[in-house]
Every structure is written in C-alpha cells, then in structure tokens.
Amino acid sequence: MGKSNAMKALEDRLSRIRSEMEKLRIQEELVLDMMREERGEPAPKKRAKRANVKRTVLDLLTAVGAGGLNAAIAVDMAAKDGVELERGSVSSLLSRLKNEGTVTYDGEVYRLKEHSNRGGEVHPLRLPGATMR
C-alpha cells in the first residue's frame, strides 16, 4: 500500500526543515569560529569522534598486519593521517578489543586475531634466575 499524498508532503517538509537546520548549524559554527579568532583564542582541537576511534584503530591494525601496534604507535600513525587520538582512549580500546577476542596481545603489541600466531607455537617463559635445559 502506497503512502498518502499528505504523508509524502509531511516527509518532504521534514526533509526541507532538516536541511535548513543543518545549514544554520554550519553557519553558527562559522560565526563562533570567527568570534574565537577575533578574541585571539586558539581554535578548538579537532578530535576523532568517539565512534570513529574504534574504526580508526581497527583500520590501523589492518594496515600494520602482523607487525602489530600499541597505543603510542596508533596515536603516532593517526597523527600522520591528520587524526588526533588520545593515548588513554586508544589504550582502553585495545584492552577491550583483547577481552572481546578481536585482537591478541603479546606483551608488546596488539594484532588482529587473523594476524596472530596461528601455529599454536608456545614461546618459553623466562624467569629471573631460571636456566634453559
């Protein structure tokens, strides 16, 4: 069953209102930036949105492959792409991804599960004072 003409008209009106609101929001942002500049205030830092931090880190993990990364490496790599990430946020995210089983951690770097050691090879644990036989 198709939409009534009244419903189509209301949806069109809502779409136009939302479009106008977005234009006004952009204009407001511009005027606020101009006012900050006029007062000599620094521009606000551009940060990756919270929803984008996870995507950015997962993209970086894909890019480094088996080489892996840690929070400091991720922050540096993102900065080279013009994205500012907070080290603490990245560190927490990597830990959460490890707990979820998305990544593995070898004590130095995190890797996506598909880039982790698949052979099941066990690395010997070295303890102070222990000798290898």
Question: What is the distance between the alpha carbons of residues 74 and 81, in angstroms, rounded to a whole number?
Answer: 11
CA–CA separation, 102 and 76 (whole Å): 22
List the pLDDT tens digit at each of the 133 positions of the chain: 577 899 999 988 998 999 999 899 889 989 998 999 999 988 776 655 544 899 999 999 999 999 999 999 999 998 888 888 899 999 999 999 999 999 999 999 999 999 886 544 444 555 555 555 5
pTM, two decimals, is 0.53
Residue environment code for 110-127, b if the CB has 16+ CB neighbours within 10 A, otherwise e: bbbeebeeeeeeeeeeee
